[in-house]
């Protein structure tokens, strides 16, 4: 039963987190199907589940914010409604301002977010931040916590009743309840055409907004991520040098590829991330669902339960046994450094994080993109897709509607799209300070001063684009890769559903499985142990989660 007939459409009506499983009040939700690119918000969805389209609004009558592309510049490579990012070969010069004046009217706005990498200097020693405050017309105070600690900090702040105005939300349990208790319901401001008051928020593809809905209300704005969350980069230079096949066509060829590029004596391995290879390559090759999949009858199955995943697990264990993974893979290793240094040949990188590798211009490094094939050689495997958001940003309950509007204006400013003068400042800073202009590339090039920029894009940001000055060919390749992968991709069908059991017990239920999975890959346990663990998992909560997802799913997507 498992693994067959999973719907693979990604933009469709009704994937909305609800409280059905919570037994809370009437939920009736309907989000519009996907992303109209015609500016009406009503979709001409490119679903393969065509019969779903057209039933429009239902039940509680929630309209997702209307999509209206902000016409700032014309892209060199077109985006798509399903989430293929636009591509650009140069930055407009001079970049024209696209927002009106400062969105704020004085006063203090506080915010907290989870930051990656070094924390920028504080506002007193940070001209960029001072400039940002001037542009925003407020004193923006941002508390940045390392991503790994953010959940703990946010929980503490919530418990202490000390939330700032703008809060990046992740790592909190019982989100629907938390949202209702602590944050502004933004539905009346943003639903339907309401969002058109904030043109840069209206410029965010509809798919991302679905992640901001709880109990059929909009509670947040969605900073953008690529819908195809992860891409597999390869070291083409090494692959060519070793005479390996850069695009294996089936499971056996991938196995050979891994063997061909591995040379332990030279400290070179196919990968140092066996769990990722298992979940994102082998799982796709054997066509198991991505996390939770739903079949046409509304029955949910987790990828771990499927025969297909079992086959992928067995396959990955054979890969491990063949020695193609870095022997310290299960320790703490720096995957990116391994890839850049040629210790590994395959590397999966989220969003457009590949850009950081290109920007380093490492001598000799030539990157390719690998598309996992179907195990039996039947063309490319179906890629796993995300929600199109990089977490979400909510607004703490405020004293007045004016204040909420002002904060939305501010978020709108932060979401100024590629090509605008605002985007240039938010992403690159001031010319000749944080970046210099490169005439040949027709692009800004960051200077060392750019450590002053604070990652406000985690609060709100423009849709992702492919823009790789000096590497236009790679932009094209990436654009093509996304264009091919997204239409047939598979999504976690539970991504927008809420199950209380999942919320409370997911980590305790899945952690033993993940541990066992790693042990099986390393040959310490067998697939029989896996079968037994799956039985336990079902009995101790897996089936309960399934049931709750099925109920929630039935509510919204009959």
Spatial separation of the C-alpha atoms in residues 26 and 174, rounded to whole Å = 18
Spatial separation of the C-alpha atoms in residues 28 and 110, rounded to whole Å = 34
Spatial separation of the C-alpha atoms in residues 111 and 106, rounded to whole Å = 15
Residues 154 to 173: which contact another protein by CB under 8 A?
A: 155-156, 158-159, 161, 172-173
What's the chain's Rg over C-alpha atoms? 23
Selected from 71, 240, 328, 402, the binder of another protein by CB under 8 A is 328
Nearest alpha carbon to residue 453 among 148, 116, 222, 109: 116
**Residue 278 vs 288, nearer CB to another protein:** 278
Nearest distance from C-beta of residue 269 to another protein, angstroms: 9
Quick check: 264 binds another protein (CB under 8 A)? yes
Selected from 55, 267, 432, 436, the binder of another protein by CB under 8 A is 267
Residue 165 CB neighbours (<10 A) = 23
Quick check: 332 binds another protein (CB under 8 A)? yes
Selected from 295, 518, 547, 551, the binder of another protein by CB under 8 A is 518
DSSP label at 451? G
Quick check: 107 binds another protein (CB under 8 A)? no
- Contact segment (CB under 8 A) with another protein among 212-220, 289-297, 344-352, 511-519 equals 511-519
**Residue 332 vs 361, nearer CB to another protein:** 332
Residues 220 to 239: which contact another protein by CB under 8 A?
A: none
Nearest distance from C-beta of residue 204 to another protein, angstroms: 27
- Contact segment (CB under 8 A) with another protein among 78-86, 103-111, 324-332, 353-361 equals 324-332
Quick check: 523 binds another protein (CB under 8 A)? no
Query: Are residues 52 and 296 in contact, defined by beta-carbon separation less than 8 angstroms?
Result: no
Quick check: 330 binds another protein (CB under 8 A)? yes
Query: Are residues 293 and 493 in contact, defined by beta-carbon separation less than 8 angstroms?
Result: yes
- Total chain residues near another protein (CB under 8 A): 35
Quick check: 152 binds another protein (CB under 8 A)? yes
**Residue 159 vs 439, nearer CB to another protein:** 159
Selected from 283, 310, 326, 347, the binder of another protein by CB under 8 A is 326
Quick check: 511 binds another protein (CB under 8 A)? yes
Quick check: 177 binds another protein (CB under 8 A)? yes
- Contact segment (CB under 8 A) with another protein among 55-63, 249-257, 262-270, 455-463 equals 262-270
Spatial separation of the C-alpha atoms in residues 111 and 328, rounded to whole Å = 39
Quick check: 146 binds another protein (CB under 8 A)? no
Quick check: 23 binds another protein (CB under 8 A)? no
User: Long-range contacts for 378-382 (Cβ within 8 Å, ≥24 apart)?
Assistant: 380/484, 380/485, 381/284, 381/285, 381/287, 382/8, 382/284, 382/287, 382/488, 382/489, 382/490
Selected from 241, 515, 539, 554, the binder of another protein by CB under 8 A is 515
**Residue 449 vs 518, nearer CB to another protein:** 518
- Contact segment (CB under 8 A) with another protein among 142-150, 224-232, 323-331, 473-481 equals 323-331
- Residue-by-residue DSSP string for 419-431: TSHHHHHHHH-SB
3-state SS assignment for residue 250: coil
Torsion (CA) 101, 104, 105, 109 in degrees, nearest 10: -160
Spatial separation of the C-alpha atoms in residues 14 and 340, rounded to whole Å = 42
Residue 239 CB neighbours (<10 A) = 21
Quick check: 527 binds another protein (CB under 8 A)? no
**Residue 331 vs 363, nearer CB to another protein:** 331
Give φ, ψ of 100 to 5 degrees. Answer: -75, -140
Quick check: 526 binds another protein (CB under 8 A)? no
Quick check: 519 binds another protein (CB under 8 A)? yes
**Angle between helical axes of 251-261 and 307-321 (0-180°, round to 10):** 20
Selected from 94, 243, 331, 364, the binder of another protein by CB under 8 A is 331
Three-state SS across 381-395? CCCEECCCECCEEEE
- Residue-by-residue DSSP string for 136-200: HTSEEEEEEEEHHHHHHHHHHHHHTT---SEEEE-S-SSHHHHHHHHB---HHHHTGGGGGGSHH
Nearest distance from C-beta of residue 401 to another protein, angstroms: 23
Nearest distance from C-beta of residue 286 to another protein, angstroms: 24
Residues 489 to 508: which contact another protein by CB under 8 A?
A: 503-508
Spatial separation of the C-alpha atoms in residues 544 and 542, rounded to whole Å = 5
**Residue 96 vs 162, nearer CB to another protein:** 162
Selected from 52, 182, 308, 384, the binder of another protein by CB under 8 A is 182
Tell me which residues touch another protein (CB under 8 A): 152, 155-156, 158-159, 161, 172-174, 177-178, 181-182, 264-265, 267, 326-328, 330-332, 503-508, 511-512, 515, 518-519, 522, 524
């Amino acid at each position: 039963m498992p693994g067959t007939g999973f719907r693979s459409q990604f933009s469709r009506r009704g994937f909305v987190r609800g409280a059905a499983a919570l037994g809370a009040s009437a939920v009736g939700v309907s989000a519009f199907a996907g992303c109209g690119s015609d500016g009406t918000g009503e979709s001409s969805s490119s679903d393969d589940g065509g019969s779903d389209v057209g039933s429009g609004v239902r039940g509680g009558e929630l309209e997702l914010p209307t999509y209206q592309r902000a016409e700032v510049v014309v892209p060199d490579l077109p985006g798509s409604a399903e989430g293929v990012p636009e591509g650009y070969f140069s930055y407009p010069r001079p970049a024209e301002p696209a927002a009106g004046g400062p969105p704020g009217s004085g006063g203090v706005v506080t915010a907290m977010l989870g930051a990656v990498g070094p924390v920028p200097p504080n506002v007193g020693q940070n001209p960029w931040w001072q400039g940002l405050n001037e542009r925003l017309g407020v004193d923006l105070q941002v508390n940045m916590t390392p991503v790994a600690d953010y959940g703990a900090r946010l929980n503490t702040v919530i418990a202490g009743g000390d939330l700032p105005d703008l809060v990046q939300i992740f790592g909190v349990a019982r989100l629907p309840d938390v949202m209702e208790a602590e944050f502004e319901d933004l539905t009346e401001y943003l639903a339907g055409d309401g969002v058109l008051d904030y043109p840069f928020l209206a410029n965010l593809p509809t798919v991302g907004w679905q992640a901001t809905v709880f109990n059929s209300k909009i509670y947040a704005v969605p900073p953008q991520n690529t819908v195809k969350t992860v891409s597999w980069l390869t070291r083409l230079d090494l692959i060519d040098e070793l005479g390996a096949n850069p695009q294996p066509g089936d499971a056996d060829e991938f196995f050979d590829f891994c063997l061909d590029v591995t040379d332990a004596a030279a400290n070179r391995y196919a990968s140092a991330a066996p769990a990722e290879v298992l979940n994102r390559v082998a799982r796709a090759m054997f066509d198991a669902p991505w996390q939770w999949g739903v079949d046409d009858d509304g029955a949910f199955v987790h990828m771990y339960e499927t025969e297909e995943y079992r086959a992928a697990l067995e396959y990955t264990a054979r890969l491990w046994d063949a020695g193609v993974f870095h022997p310290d893979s299960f320790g703490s290793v720096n995957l990116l450094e391994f890839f850049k240094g040629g210790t590994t040949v395959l590397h999966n990188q989220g969003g457009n994080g590949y850009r950081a590798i290109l920007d380093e211009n490492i001598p000799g490094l030539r990157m390719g993109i690998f598309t996992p094939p179907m195990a039996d050689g039947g063309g490319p495997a179906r890629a796993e897709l995300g929600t199109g958001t990089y977490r979400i940003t909510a607004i703490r309950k405020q004293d007045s509607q004016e204040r909420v509007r002002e904060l939305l204006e501010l978020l709108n400013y932060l979401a100024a799209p590629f090509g605008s003068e605002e985007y240039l400042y938010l992403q690159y800073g001031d010319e000749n300070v944080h970046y210099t202009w490169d005439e040949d590339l027709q692009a800004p090039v960051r200077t060392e001063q750019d450590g002053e920029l604070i990652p406000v894009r985690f609060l709100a940001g423009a849709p992702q684009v492919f823009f790789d000055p000096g590497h236009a060919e790679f932009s094209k390749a990436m654009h093509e890769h996304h264009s091919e992968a997204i239409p047939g991709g598979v999504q976690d069908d539970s991504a927008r559903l809420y199950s209380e059991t999942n919320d409370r017990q997911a980590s305790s239920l899945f952690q033993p499985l993940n541990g066992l999975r790693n042990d099986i890959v390393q040959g310490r346990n067998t697939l029989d142990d896996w079968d037994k663990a799956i039985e336990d998992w079902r009995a101790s909560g897996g089936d309960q989660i399934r049931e709750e997802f099925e109920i929630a799913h039935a509510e919204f997507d009959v």
